[in-house]
Amino acid sequence: MQRIGFIVYPGFQVIGLASSTVFEIANIANGAPIYQVDILSEDGGKVQGSAAVAVDSQPFGRRHYDTLIVCGGTEVPKPSPKLAAYLRAKLQSSRRIASICTGAFVLAEAGLLNGRHATTHWLLARELQTRFPTVTVEEDRIFVVDGPIWTSAGMTAGIDLGLSMLEKDAGAELARAVARKLVIFHRRAGGQSQHSSLLELEPKSDRIQAALTYASKNLRNALTVEQLAEAARLSPRQFSRSFRAETGQSPAKAVENLRVEAARLMLEQSAHPIDVVARETGFADRERMRRAFLRAFGQPPRTIRRNAEPLDQ
């Protein structure tokens, strides 16, 4: 039986424990126990969360854990020296160590994310990258697996993390059964976006916004800089300079993001063949769309579509 420990500390967010239900239901659905789940803290006893909820916990000790999961908090947590040392020691003996939401800051402070890829809640991803430059922060991922280290985005992404762990441990069939019992339509893949990439653009002027609106309505066309500049009523040179200054992206990158977003929605919400999706969203062919998906999501279109299928099919 695999032993899983959820690590809490004063101010932890209770929703971080929601993913423990994945392992609880897995035991029931399997017909025999697979997991033993414990709640851990430095000294054990009652630990007050960020809401009006306190939980009982066991103190750190020498007990072996296959998996340790650090919960997040509403504030960015800073681990005590004892917690950081515990995590560093357990990296040598545990199969995997994970974090939910801002728990990534705990792993980073302990040095477990050095040289690794990781994610956290999108609101705090830039802060994580700034404070820990040796970490490659994938700020638009539901969860990231880098060797023995698993990190997830905020809130319900911890459930996706748990389901992915279950699938790896016991297979896709049991993971689907657990998701059904949890009334989850489908398990989101780790590479899926936390939110629309266009939220990052936020153009400041009506002219750049007009160009983006034009692009989103004409994705099937070539969309050259000259066409976008005309929509913005600027010269191509002025447009390119203003666009990058206002959005932080080149026009070509922004158009690719628009196309990828539109293509992802078509794949998830329609039965159109991939060739049709590529054509309708302005990719010259399916191979070009595949490369764009790998850049954006770390997964090809077929995987995105498969992960969008209802689990009870």
What is 2-181's CATH number, 3.40.1230.10, 3.30.1600.10, 3.40.50.880, 3.40.50.300? Answer: 3.40.50.880
- How far from 63 is each of 38, 86, 222, 259, 267, CA to CA, in Å? 11, 12, 60, 50, 46
Q: What is the pLDDT of residue 289?
A: 94
pLDDT-derived band at 142, boundaries 50, 70, 90 = confident
Domain with CATH 1.10.10.60 in the chain: 197-308
Q: Assess whether pLDDT exceeds 70 at residue 38.
A: yes
CB 225 within 8 A of CB 266: no
Mean pLDDT for the stretch of residues 120-141:
89
pLDDT-derived band at 313, boundaries 50, 70, 90 = very low
More confident residue, 313 or 19: 19
pLDDT-derived band at 162, boundaries 50, 70, 90 = very high
Min mean pLDDT across 35-39, 118-122, 186-190 is at 186-190
Q: What is the pLDDT of residue 191?
A: 47
Q: Which residues contact 43 (CB under 8 A, 6 or more apart)?
A: 59
What is 197-308's CATH number, 1.10.10.60, 1.20.1540.10, 2.60.40.10, 3.40.50.970? Answer: 1.10.10.60
Mean pLDDT of the chain: 88
CA 154 to CA 292: how far, in whole Å?
A: 25
Q: Assess whether pLDDT exceeds 60 at residue 195.
A: no
pLDDT-derived band at 202, boundaries 50, 70, 90 = low
CA 89 to chain centre: 26
Q: Assess whether pLDDT exceeds 70 at residue 199.
A: no
pLDDT-derived band at 287, boundaries 50, 70, 90 = very high
Domain with CATH 3.40.50.880 in the chain: 2-181
Sign of CA dihedral 174, 176, 181, 184: positive
Mean pLDDT for the stretch of residues 261-280:
88
pLDDT in tens, 46-89: 999 988 889 999 999 989 999 999 999 888 988 999 999 999 99
